[in-house]
C-alpha cells in the first residue's frame, strides 16, 4: 500500500507502539489521526501535526467519538492498535471489572470500528485494516489469561474478515508484536523489542502488502507453532 497522501487512523496512537506507528506513517507521507485517553499526550501529538480524537475505547461513548471524529473524511487506513492489560485473577470476583475493561478495549472496540468504518474504507480506491494482536494470540501465557483471550479472539476475527473481504479493495492485515518496551510492560523482566523497531516492521508490512506481520521474536514462535502447536503452548504458558 502506498500510504502517501492517504488518511490513516491509529487508535492508541499517542503512546507506545501506536505512537511509533503514527510517526512512521507520517514520515512516509500519510495524514494521520490518533486516538487516546490522555489530553496531555494528545496535545503533544497535535503539536507534531497529527489530528487527534479523545476517547476511551472501553466505552460506547469513546467508540462513538472516534467514529464521529472521522465522519466525512476519506479514511483509507484503520490501525486498531489500542490495547490494555488486565488485573484479572482467577477466583477473585472483584477482578472481573478489569477483565471486562480489557475485553471491551482489546476486542469489542476493534470489531465495532471495523464494522462502522468499513463503508468509508470501501469508498476509497485502496484501503486497509490493520489489527494489532500479539504473539500471545498464537499461544497464551497463564499470567495473562484475559489479555491473551482478547488477542486470540481478535486474531480469529481478523482471519475471518480477511476472507470475507478478499475480493474487495480493503486489505486486512494482522500485526503480531512480541513483548515490547511500553508502559504496559513496565516491570516485566526479559528481552523486549523497542516500540520503534516493532512499528517499523508493522509499517513495512503495510507498505509491502503483507497479510500478516510477525514482529521480532514472534517469527520464531510462528515457526515453532507451525511444527508443533503443542510445543508452542508448552513454551508460552509459563512465559
CB of 208 closer than 8 Å to CB of 166: no
Q: In this structure, how many other beta carbons lie within 10 angstroms of the beta carbon of residue 69?
A: 16
Question: Which residues contact residue 100 at a Cβ distance below 8 angstroms, ignoring those fewer than 6 apart?
Answer: none
Buried b (16+ CB within 10 A) or exposed e, 48-65: eebbbbbbbbbeeebbeb
Question: Which entry of 25, 26, 114, 147 is annotated as an active-site residue?
Answer: 147
CA distance linking residue 105 with residue 100, whole number of Å: 9
Please say if 157 is a catalytic residue: no
CA distance linking residue 39 with residue 197, whole number of Å: 26
**Dihedral, 168, 64, 62, 133 alpha carbons, nearest 10:** -10
Which residue numbers are catalytic?
147
Amino acid at each position: 500500500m502506498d500510504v502517501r497522501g492517504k488518511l490513516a487512523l491509529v487508535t492508541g496512537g499517542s503512546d507506545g507502539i501506536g505512537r511509533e506507528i503514527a510517526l512512521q506513517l507520517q514520515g512516509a507521507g500519510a495524514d494521520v489521526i490518533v486516538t487516546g485517553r490522555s489530553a496531555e499526550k494528545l496535545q503533544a501529538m497535535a503539536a507534531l501535526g497529527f489530528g487527534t480524537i479523545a476517547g476511551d475505547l472501553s466505552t460506547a461513548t469513546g467508540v462513538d467519538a472516534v467514529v464521529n471524529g472521522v465522519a466525512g473524511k476519506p479514511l483509507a487506513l484503520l490501525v486498531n492498535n489500542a490495547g490494555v492489560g488486565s488485573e484479572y485473577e482467577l477466583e477473585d470476583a472483584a477482578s472481573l471489572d478489569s477483565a471486562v475493561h480489557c475485553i471491551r478495549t482489546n476486542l469489542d472496540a476493534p470489531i465495532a470500528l471495523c464494522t462502522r468504518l468499513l463503508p468509508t474504507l470501501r469508498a476509497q480506491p485502496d484501503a486497509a485494516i490493520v489489527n494489532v494482536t500479539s504473539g500471545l494470540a498464537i499461544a497464551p501465557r497463564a499470567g495473562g489469561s484475559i489479555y491473551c483471550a482478547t488477542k486470540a479472539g481478535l486474531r480469529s476475527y481478523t482471519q475471518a474478515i480477511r476472507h470475507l473481504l478478499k475480493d474487495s479493495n480493503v486489505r486486512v492485515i494482522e500485526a503480531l508484536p512480541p513483548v515490547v518496551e511500553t508502559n504496559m510492560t513496565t516491570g516485566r523482566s526479559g528481552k523486549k523489542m523497542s516500540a520503534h523497531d516493532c512499528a517499523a516492521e508493522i509499517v513495512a508490512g503495510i507498505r509491502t502488502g503483507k497479510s500478516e506481520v510477525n514482529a521480532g521474536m514472534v517469527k520464531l514462535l510462528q515457526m515453532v507453532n507451525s511444527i508443533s502447536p503443542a510445543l508452542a503452548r508448552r513454551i508460552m504458558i509459563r512465559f
